[in-house]
Chains A and B, each alone.
Chain A
Amino acid sequence: MHISNGIIDGPVAAIFAAFALAALAFCVLRGRADLDDRLAPMAGLVAAFIFAVQMLNFPIFTAGVSGHLLGGALAALLVGPWVGALCVAVVLVVQALVFGDGGVAMLGLNITNMAILGTAAAYLLIALLLRVLPRTPAGLAVTAFVSALVSVVVASQGFVLQYWLGGTTDLGGNLGGLAGTMAVAHLLIGIGEGLITATTVVTVAKVRPDLVYALRALKPAVPAPAVPVAGGVR
């Protein structure tokens, strides 16, 4: 979902670059509380993993349309919302500066959609769902799937907002058409995102539940019967 150069005009791209920079600075400030000697290399791994999975475009519809993981929900679940947003931003910066993927001038727009909006939407849902759903692998899987799916659709609508502000083609008042096309395509991509996110997080939770930030940080709304469980899972 990387915006290429020329799609959004320069002034709007610059405004979003400033916004993205401010938001990332805020993430660094808040994220430092989470970021200790243990989380720093883990966060590097999460960024590397997201880079890898973003290369794996999967087909949607039957026609010639594909989609790939954005990673905001996955990162938020594994390393928390602040560091998670930074992980996705790191991936986007490497892609723009080294792989020619997503215009350098469009970086602020892309970071806003995928790193900031996507991760924020995901974590709001994660925080809600993990508190109300049972602390089981199924509960974690549903949380991951739903938050990932919604985060992709929210990110896609971030682009629609940007296109409304600074799109380089006059859609003749048909912004709703673009919004609808984007929403449907990203609903389908979101299903893929949800499956990948749920599979990955449930696997990590099985191997190393202590490495899943969301399980450490978010306590159930109703305290479970007082049986202390090592690692904090379920």
Chain B
Amino acid sequence: MSKRGWPFLLGGLLVALLLAGVVSNYASSHPDGLDSSLLKGCTVNADDEITGGTCPAQQAKDHELADSPLADYGVRGIGNDFLSTGLSGVLGVLLTFAFGAGLFWLARRRTPTGAAATGAGAPPPTGDR
């Protein structure tokens, strides 16, 4: 990382944590574009549960990991919806960052950056890290 890389990284993570931890509670809980397209032909109640008719969505089966402790963006055992959703979002952001950055770090190019590796227009590497 360049010297000014860490503040950006931490700032970005903070924004992601706020979005997933707080703002997520104000998200729409209605089916998304794909799910609603598959509901065509069925009637649904106020909770978006199928009440009649025939539609492709009726073929849907349970998720393999439906009883995962974080299934459906909630933390099992936490009764407060706001807290449950928010905490699952925070854990998801941290997990995704750890998993993603870890994989990308392992897969990164390790050739010394001195040669032609800096590419066009990029500032020369300062060698800090």
Residues of A within 8 A of B (CB): 1-7, 28, 31-33, 35-53, 55-60, 64-68, 83, 86-87, 90-91, 93-94, 96-101, 103-105, 156, 159, 163, 167-169, 171, 177-178, 181-182, 185-186, 188-189, 207-208, 210-211, 216, 219, 232
Contact = CB atoms under 8 A, between A and B. Distances in A.
B12 A45 contact: yes
A65 B33 CA distance: 6
B64 A5 contact: yes
B119 A100 contact: no
Tell me the interface secondary structure of chain B in the complex.
helix
Interface of B: 1-2, 4-5, 8-9, 12-13, 15-17, 19-20, 23-24, 27-38, 40, 44, 48, 54-66, 68, 70-73, 88-89, 92-105, 107-109, 113, 117, 119-123, 129
B33 A37 contact: no
Contacts, number: 241
Contacts of B72: 99-101
Contact of A100 (B20, B58, B68, B104): B68
A45 B16 contact: yes
A38 B2 contact: yes
A100 B96 contact: no
B37 A86 contact: no
Contacts of A5: 60-64
